[in-house]
Structures are given as structure tokens and as C-alpha cells.
């Protein structure tokens, strides 16, 4: 158990975390929500895909009768910009255990036309209603303790592509997956790190949607550089996370034809596998 | 290389394979398609989820400007029945390299009301346009040759839950993942086998959508029995498959709270990883 997991988290001074404030949606009418996408979650001017997923996730949690995202599938269409956006949701089916919804995020282009940024299909349930049974062969990622891991603030080499979002995250990467920052990528396609929110807010199902897409791309560890845009990202939330830092492990096994998959696992401080995700992304081959 | 991979495939006598005939959709108007869901792809009266995905995949291939499914995310809503159905598609975005669409399958209930069976978001491209580069650490599954594997016809124990669909598939399971059929599940959550269409039709991107959901559930290898309904299934098609039998490997690492993931890999006769999928399914805990 990491020492930091038992430490008292530091909350934002006004009592509202940056993540909660910046993912809050305002209901305009039933199923339609307004949001001002924050510039605080951008990487080189692009709004982080996990942050966008958390925004749509919160809108669907309001629109659907069940509170927690169980499985969320997002197809990314155009690049979102910081600023005003509208989320339109549709309740597809409501059931006793699960309900399914759809959500899209729109922004206005320079001509004032609505442009769709991403579309999501998601099935929601109640994590607290699930039985306690666990039969798992999955093991938490082998990783050094947090104090032996490195974040963007630990330089010397600045983490490529890290901008505003790094100030909002507590991200400490396993040095064995950081060779690329020194020009020596391992070629294994792995990225591992400790993850939390910088203001100490504890994880919940919505911050898990952010966590799976917040590490540097595994493509860097494969020796590629440059942008790796997500085509599709599906997250399964399997358990409500315990307080304390998360461990995130991302692996790519198959880079082929200019596309690669990124498989993420998120583990909580109780050693529970709390989320699994897979995305298909485009890689610019060097 | 398996011997059968180089053998001349046996085609259906009329030149149209069962799979092509039973997934053919008829355009009623732009974006709307009729289909008669065949009873030939059922397991204990339920229409196979991979077959349904192939039907929607073919409708979207007609509706979108790109021919091949790259990533298809399906959320299953209600149980489909053999018989008439309508597929409604929407073109969400068209781009140079990729286009994204949505499709839903509807059937009429006893009161004549349309009921949605499943909804799909999918991004399509052209597999033939991709560069040849492959940098993969993925290895084909270790599996005995086909003649040392077993299908439903090899008894003695009938494969639980196998009905009409087994007559349309060439399915030979690795005996090390078949202990459950003799009352001795390995507990590893693995299922592996050789896969093809019984009439010898060679694989294509649409039959890959079937292949990822055609083996017995890994839950059987975990000692569970009974129905394991799919909540969500996402498939990535990574490469156009070469002629010959496929190898399909499915693993479950985390059965928890009554849900499990099934990760499938499909390898072709050229040892290329041609598809990856993950589904979230519900398990009835014993």
C-alpha cells in the first residue's frame, strides 16, 4: 500500500475541485446541457479526450436513471476547442439494472454552424448494487513507489506535449517507461504511472474516464513522436475506486498500418482493478 | 502454417455463402435497410451477437463512403429474434481517411411497436489504403494443429448452448480450453480455437465481426454456466484477413461484481493480428 494512499487529501480551497468545476454541465432543457470547456485540460491546444469523456459522462448521469458509467464508447469526430459547447443526450433504453444513453458534444464553427466533436454510446448502472464477488487473474502493474517516479516538474527533459493539463494532474511516471524523454524509447509500447488530481480530489467513476487517457501516448515508447489522435475509446468502469492515488498501466501490442491500440488498466489503492479501456488511435509513422 | 490454410476452400453450391446470404441487407430508402434475420445463427433461440454486428456492419458499408469497418462499438439493448428487422443508419461524419456512422436494428414487438435491439457507432476506412508497416509484440496464440482440436461434432459431451449456429461454423477448440465440457474448467478464463465458415467462405472484415463472438463464453472455463449476455462489444479490424482458417483466442482476466470482460484476438493464416475486440458481459455467479 503506498504511503500517500493513507494521507489526507488536500482539497481545493473553495471546496470544489477543479475537475468537478470544469466538468459541471448545466441543464438547459431535458437532455440538453451547456458547458464551457475549460482551457485547463488541454495538451498543445487540444482538449484532452478523457476530459471530454468525463463531461459527456456527467451529462448522461443526469439524463439517465442510473448514476454510474459501466461502459462508455466514444468516437471522436473533430477537435474540440476550449469554450462554450452543448451536450445533447438521448435515452435509448432504461432497464432495471442498466440503462443506455447516447450523447454528443457540439460547438459552433466560425460560420456559427454546429459541429459535432464526439459521440458516445454508454450503458449505466449502480456500482454500489453489485455483489462483492471477485475472481480475477489480473495483477496490479509492477511499479516503483511514487517517490521513485517522475512527473513533468521533475525535468530535466520537459514531457513532450504537456501543457495546461499537467498543472491539474498528479502524474508520476515509472522511469522504465520514460526512456523516450531521454531519446531512448524502450520499444515495448508501455506507459505506467501514478495518477491523481493535483488538488487532491479523490477518484470517482468520472475521473476514471479521464485517467485512462491522461498519460503520454505509448507511441512515444515505440519511438514515434507527434500527435496520436484517438479514433475511438471505450472504457469499462468495474468498481467504485477507493480514495488515494491510482496506478495506470497502458500497453500497445500492435502498431500496424498507421493505427495502434492502447489498452489501459486502472488500479486503486485497495488493489482493485477499477477500470479497463481500449482505444484505437492513428499514429504518424516516422 | 496449417495444412488447411492452403487447401482450396469449398464454396456453397449456388456460389453465395450462407454468411453472405444471411447478412445481406436490402436498401428500402437511403440509409434504411430491410433484413430477414436468419434462424441459422442462433444459440438456444438467441440470435448471435456477432452475426447481428455483421448485419449492421454491412448496412453501414453501404451507407458510408468507406468500405471497411475499422472500429465498431455496439451496445446490446434487447434480445433479437429470427425474422424481419429494419436497420436505420445515420452518417455522422465523412472524412478523407475515415467516416463515422451510427446504425440501429429494430424489430416489431407483439403489439406492432418498433423495439430497438442494438445500437452501433462505427468508424470506417479502406484497409487496402493502409501502409504495410507492422511493429507488433503480439504473438499468435499457442494452439495445437486443427486436427488435434475438437468441435461440437466430435462429442462425446455436446457443447453446451450450441444449436443452429454450430452447423454454419467450422469451430475446433483447443482441448486445453475444453475442460469445462467434461466438468473440469481450468479456471483460467481462456477459450481458443480454429474458426471458419462451414461452407468454406474465406474470411473478410465482416466475418471477423462474427468471429470475435462465436466461441463458447470464457465464463465456462471459469466454472460458471448459463447465459452470459453481452452488454457492449467493440471490435477493431486491423488488417484484411488472408484466405484460410482463423485462430481466435479469448481471455477474461477480471470477473467481478457480476460482470466480466472478454478480450478476443483473431489471427489469420499469414500470422497477422487481423482483429481485436473487447466486450463487457453479465455473468450469473454460481
Please give the mean pLDDT across all residues of chain A: 91
> How far apart are the C-alpha atoms of A264 and B262, rounded to whole Å?
15
Please give the mean pLDDT across all residues of chain B: 91
Q: Which residue has the cell 476550449?
A: A82
- Give the pLDDT score at B160: 54
> How far apart are the C-alpha atoms of A107 and A213, rounded to whole Å?
22
pLDDT category at B153 given cuts 50, 70, 90 is: confident
Q: Which residue has the cell 495506470?
A: A248
Q: Which residue has the cell 491500440?
A: A261
Determine whether the interchain pair B119/A121 forms a contact, defined as Cβ–Cβ distance below 8 Å. Answer: yes
Nearest-neighbour CA in chain A from B86: distance (Å): 17
Mean pLDDT on B141-161: 79
pLDDT category at A138 given cuts 50, 70, 90 is: very high
Helix (H, G, I), strand (E, B) or coil at B210: helix
Hey, of A56, A70, A75, A188, which one would you mutate to test binding to chain B, going by the most B CBs within 10 A of its CB? A75
End-to-end CA distance of chain A: 40
Per DSSP, A77 falls in state: -
- Put simply, whether A188 touches B (Cβ < 8 Å) is yes
- Give the pLDDT score at B163: 76
> How far apart are the C-alpha atoms of A210 and A74, rounded to whole Å?
13
Burial of A271 (0-12, 13-18, 19+ CB in 10 A): exposed
List the single residue in B123, B188, B273 with the smallest CB-CB distance to A254: B273
**In sequence order, what are the residues at sequence separation of 6 or more whose Cβ sits closer than 8 angstroms to the Cβ of residue A111?**
none
Q: Report CA Rg, chain B.
A: 18
- Give the pLDDT score at A3: 37
- Put simply, whether B276 touches A (Cβ < 8 Å) is yes
Which ipTM did the prediction report?
0.93
List the single residue in B122, B188, B238 with the smallest CB-CB distance to A259: B238
Closest CA to B277 of B19, B48, B70, B47: B70
> How far apart are the C-alpha atoms of A21 and A206, rounded to whole Å?
13
Hey, of B105, B229, B256, which one would you mutate to test binding to chain A, going by the most A CBs within 10 A of its CB? B256
Q: Which domains does chain A have, with CATH numbers?
A: 8-127 (2.40.160.210), 146-282 (2.40.160.210)
pLDDT digits (tens, 9 = 90+) for A236-280: 999 999 999 999 999 999 999 999 999 999 999 999 999 999 999
Determine whether the interchain pair B137/A188 forms a contact, defined as Cβ–Cβ distance below 8 Å. Answer: yes
**What is the helix (H) or strand (E) element at residue A56, kind and residue range?**
helix A49-63
- Give the pLDDT score at A4: 39
Q: Measured between alpha carbons, how far is residue A198 from residues A13, A46, A54, A245, A254 in Å? A: 12, 20, 17, 11, 33
B264, pLDDT greater than 90: yes
Mean pLDDT on B142-171: 81
- Give the pLDDT score at B226: 82
Number of Cβ within a 10 Å radius of residue B70: 27
Closest CA to B138 of B2, B282, B1, B264: B264
Pick B161 or B133 by higher pLDDT.
Answer: B133
pLDDT category at A52 given cuts 50, 70, 90 is: very high
B286, pLDDT greater than 70: no
Contacts of B261 in chain A (CB under 8 A): 236, 276
**In sequence order, what are the residues at sequence separation of 6 or more whose Cβ sits closer than 8 angstroms to the Cβ of residue A29?**
none
List the single residue in A71, A134, A222 with the smallest CB-CB distance to B135: A222
**Can the peptide bond before residue A156 be classed as cis, meaning omega within 30 degrees of 0?**
yes
The pairing of strands B190-197 and B246-251 is antiparallel
- Give the pLDDT score at B284: 75
B151: Cα separation from own chain's centroid: 17
Helix (H, G, I), strand (E, B) or coil at A129: helix
Nearest-neighbour CA in chain B from A16: distance (Å): 31
List the single residue in B236, B253, B258 with the smallest CB-CB distance to A138: B253
Which residue in A has a C-alpha nearest to residue B224's C-alpha?
A135
- Give the pLDDT score at B13: 52
Hey, of B70, B73, B126, which one would you mutate to test binding to chain A, going by the most A CBs within 10 A of its CB? B73
> How far apart are the C-alpha atoms of B195 and B170, rounded to whole Å?
6
- For residues A170-195, one letter each, b for 16 or more C-beta atoms within 10 angstroms of the residue's C-beta and e for the rest, the string is bbbbbbebbbbbeeebeebbbbbbbb
B:50-109 residues touching chain A, CB 8 A cutoff = 70-71, 73, 75, 77-78, 92-93, 97-98, 100, 102
Pick B14 or A78 by higher pLDDT.
Answer: A78
Contacts of B73 in chain A (CB under 8 A): 73, 75, 121, 232, 234
Pick A237 or B7 by higher pLDDT.
Answer: A237
- Put simply, whether B239 touches A (Cβ < 8 Å) is yes
Q: Which three cell numbers stand for residue A267?
A: 488500479
Nearest-neighbour CA in chain A from B262: distance (Å): 11
> How far apart are the C-alpha atoms of B275 and B258, rounded to whole Å?
27
Pick B125 or B163 by higher pLDDT.
Answer: B125
- Give the pLDDT score at A158: 54
List the single residue in B133, B254, B282 with the smallest CB-CB distance to A257: B133
**What is the helix (H) or strand (E) element at residue A37, kind and residue range?**
strand A32-37
- Give the pLDDT score at A156: 56
Contact B228, B219 (CB under 8 A): yes
pLDDT digits (tens, 9 = 90+) for B172-219: 999 999 999 889 999 999 999 999 999 999 999 999 999 999 999 999
- Give the pLDDT score at B105: 98
pLDDT digits (tens, 9 = 90+) for A191-224: 999 999 999 999 999 999 999 999 999 999 999 9
**Sign of the four-CA dihedral B204, B208, B214, B218:** positive
pLDDT digits (tens, 9 = 90+) for A62-72: 999 999 999 99
- Give the pLDDT score at A14: 64
- Give the pLDDT score at B1: 35
Query: Percent of chain B at pLDDT above 70?
Result: 92
List the single residue in A189, A236, A256 with the smallest CB-CB distance to B261: A236
Determine whether the interchain pair A232/B232 forms a contact, defined as Cβ–Cβ distance below 8 Å. Answer: no
CB pairs under 8 A between A and B: 171
Closest CA to B64 of A240, A75, A182, A255: A75
Determine whether the interchain pair A238/B256 forms a contact, defined as Cβ–Cβ distance below 8 Å. Answer: yes
pLDDT digits (tens, 9 = 90+) for B10-49: 445 567 899 999 999 999 999 999 999 999 999 877 899 9
- Give the pLDDT score at B242: 98
Q: Which residue has the cell 481545493?
A: A12
Hey, of B96, B234, B268, which one would you mutate to test binding to chain A, going by the most A CBs within 10 A of its CB? B234
Contacts of B70 in chain A (CB under 8 A): 231, 259, 280
A74, pLDDT greater than 90: yes
pLDDT digits (tens, 9 = 90+) for A149-190: 998 877 655 555 557 898 999 999 999 999 998 899 999 999
Hey, of B235, B236, B281, which one would you mutate to test binding to chain A, going by the most A CBs within 10 A of its CB? B236
List the single residue in B102, B136, B222 with the smallest CB-CB distance to A254: B136
- Give the pLDDT score at A284: 75
Q: Which three cell numbers stand for residue B284?
A: 450469473
Amino acid at each position: 500500500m503506498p504511503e500517500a494512499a493513507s494521507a489526507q487529501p488536500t482539497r481545493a480551497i473553495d471546496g470544489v475541485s477543479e475537475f468537478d468545476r470544469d466538468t459541471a454541465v448545466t441543464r438547459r432543457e431535458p437532455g440538453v446541457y451547456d458547458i464551457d470547456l475549460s482551457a485547463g485540460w488541454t495538451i498543445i491546444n487540444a482538449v484532452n479526450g478523457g476530459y471530454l469523456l468525463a463531461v459527456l459522462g456527467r451529462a448522461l448521469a443526469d439524463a439517465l436513471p442510473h448514476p454510474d458509467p459501466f461502459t462508455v464508447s466514444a468516437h471522436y469526430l473533430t477537435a474540440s476547442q476550449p469554450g462554450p459547447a452543448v451536450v445533447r443526450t438521448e435515452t435509448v433504453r432504461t432497464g432495471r439494472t442498466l440503462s443506455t444513453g447516447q450523447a454528443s458534444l457540439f460547438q459552433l464553427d466560425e460560420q456559427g454552424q454546429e459541429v459535432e466533436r464526439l459521440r458516445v454510446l454508454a450503458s449505466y448502472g449502480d456500482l454500489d448494487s453489485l455483489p462483492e464477488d471477485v475472481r480475477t487473474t489480473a495483477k496490479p502493474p509492477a511499479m516503483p513507489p511514487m517517490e521513485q517516479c517522475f512527473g513533468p516538474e521533475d525535468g530535466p527533459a520537459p514531457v513532450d506535449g504537456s501543457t495546461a493539463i499537467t498543472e491539474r494532474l498528479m502524474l508520476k511516471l515509472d522511469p522504465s517507461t520514460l526512456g523516450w524523454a531521454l531519446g531512448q524509447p524502450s520499444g515495448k509500447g508501455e506507459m505506467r504511472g501514478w495518477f491523481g488530481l493535483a488538488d487532491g480530489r479523490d477518484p470517482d467513476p468520472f475521473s476514471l474516464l479521464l485517467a485512462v487517457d491522461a498519460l503520454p501516448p505509448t507511441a512515444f515508447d515505440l519511438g514515434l513522436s507527434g500527435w496520436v489522435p484517438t479514433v475511438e475509446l471505450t472504457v469499462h468502469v468495474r468498481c467504485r475506486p477507493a480514495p488515494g492515488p491510482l496506478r495506470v498501466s497502458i500497453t500497445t501490442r500492435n502498431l500496424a498500418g498507421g493505427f495502434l491500440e492502447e489498452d489501459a488498466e486502472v488500479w486503486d489503492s485497495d488493489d482493485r482493478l477499477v477500470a479497463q479501456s481500449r482505444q484505437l488511435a492513428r499514429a504518424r509513422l516516422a
